[in-house]
Amino acid sequence: MTVLFECTFDNARHIGLGVPSDDAPLRLNRLREDDCPAALFTRTRDEDDRAAALTALLAERPVVEVPADARHQVRMRPPLLPEHVGDALVSGFMMTHNVKIDVSAQDQPNWFVKGLGDALKVPGEPLSVPADAVAVCEEAEVVLVYVGDEDGAPRYAGYTFGNDLTDIGRFKQHAGHLSYAKLCDAGIAPWMHLGAPPRTAAGEVVIERNGATAWKGAFTTGTDAIHYDVAAIMDRLFAHRALHRPGRVHYVYIGADRSSFHGGFRAADGDRVTIDVSSHGVRMSHSLAWTRPGVARGQEWGR
């Protein structure tokens, strides 16, 4: 299966193929300023077409070799992230997995919005947590990536993996506060797979505190682990015209297995969360950072 990633190096955007190992040199193709890789996926309908369009683009772009000792100068980007973060929407579904629901579940899971493109953080970047969070947990998930075509209709591009960091304690206190519980940053792996969503993806979560392992646990996700027909719930979601806009990139988190919270663990400021999707050779680590209380603007009438 073709896997692509985007990054910046030497003050320019580049694209590469595969999931590179940590200590290997990188082979990249330098993009032009007017290149928009996301647009490739609005004109293709299956994995072979997407791979062929990508190969054709790369064949016309100069090759750049980054030696292993210069890898620190490369900054990975979320896959297909637009230049303007407002052209990306990060959202997801909750309570989708068989282990979390019963047979009487509704026919469409609840949907939520996490934010715009700047809510996405690649490995190595901290994940911001609201200052008044009640109890935060990681959620290892498959992330589906869609791009709005010329009519605005979202077209499937591929999938990656992410950490839908959630204030599950707030949701447990008040189920109506799901929208607030999800307003934490979202970890995302920069490597996008061009095939259909995986039927199964498995691995392990490790949470470190002060340099030592504080909690670890296995997870299983993928479409086989989900109670719903993923294609059907995505079709129903994107039937809403409010989500249609040409060029908009959607990152949809499709739910998680049990987390550290269900194992009795409580994450804290400074913890490092590593999600190792061993089935796909993808590993991502993020530290957690509780933010200072924000100052709301715009209601001077109340002061």
pLDDT of residue 43: 83
DSSP, res 278: G
Q: Return d(Cα 211, Cα 195) in angstroms, integer.
A: 37
Token pair belonging to 206: 């490790």
Contact 192, 80 (CB under 8 A): yes
Per-residue pLDDT of the chain (303 residues; tens, 9 = 90+): 899 999 999 999 999 999 998 888 999 999 999 999 999 898 877 888 888 989 999 999 999 999 999 999 999 999 999 999 999 999 999 999 998 886 566 789 999 999 999 999 999 999 999 999 999 999 999 999 999 999 999 999 999 999 999 999 999 999 889 999 999 999 999 999 999 999 999 999 999 999 999 999 999 999 999 999 999 999 999 999 999 999 999 999 999 998 999 999 999 999 999 999 999 999 999 999 998 766 556 656 565
Q: Return d(Cα 78, Cα 119) in angstroms, integer.
A: 10
Global pTM reads 0.94
Question: Between the CA of residue 269 and those of 259, 266, 275, 283, what are the distances in Å?
Answer: 17, 10, 18, 21
pLDDT of residue 155: 95
- Residue spans of the domains in the chain: they are 3-77, 85-290
| Fold of the domain spanning 85-290 | Fumarylacetoacetate hydrolase; domain 2 (3.90.850)
pLDDT of residue 292: 76
**C-alpha 297 chain-centroid distance:** 29
Token pair belonging to 142: 């498959």
Token pair belonging to 41: 């996926």
DSSP letters along 109-133, please? --EEEEEEGGGEE-TTSPEEE-TT-
pLDDT of residue 44: 77
116, 26, 56, 117 alpha-carbon torsion, rounded to 10°: 0
**Which residues are CB-contacts of 158 (< 8 A; sequence separation ≥ 6)?**
4, 41, 50, 79, 145, 192, 193, 194, 195
Q: Smallest Cα–Cα separation from 92: which of 174, 6, 183, 219?
A: 183
pLDDT of residue 260: 94
Number of H helices, E strands in the chain: 4, 20
Token pair belonging to 233: 């719930």
Q: Return d(Cα 6, Cα 10) in angstroms, integer.
A: 13
